[in-house]
Chain A
Amino acid sequence: MIPISWYLILAAVCFFIGVLGFVIRRNAIVVFMCLEIMLNAVNLTFVAFSQSVGNLQGQLAVFFVMVVAAAEASIGLAIIIALFRSMKSVETSSAAELRH
Chain B
Amino acid sequence: MIDVLFALVLLALVGAVVLLFAMFGELTARLPTLDIGYLDPTVTPLREARLGSAPDYWPEQLAPLLDANDGSALLLVLSTACGSCENVAEQLTNEIDQQSSIDTGVVVSCGDRRLGENFIERHGLDGMPTYVDEGGEWVIASFGVQTSPSALAIRHWRLESAAVFTDVVALRAATTDIEEVAA
Asked if chains A and B come from one complex, the reply is no
Residues of B in contact with A (beta carbons under 8 Å apart): none
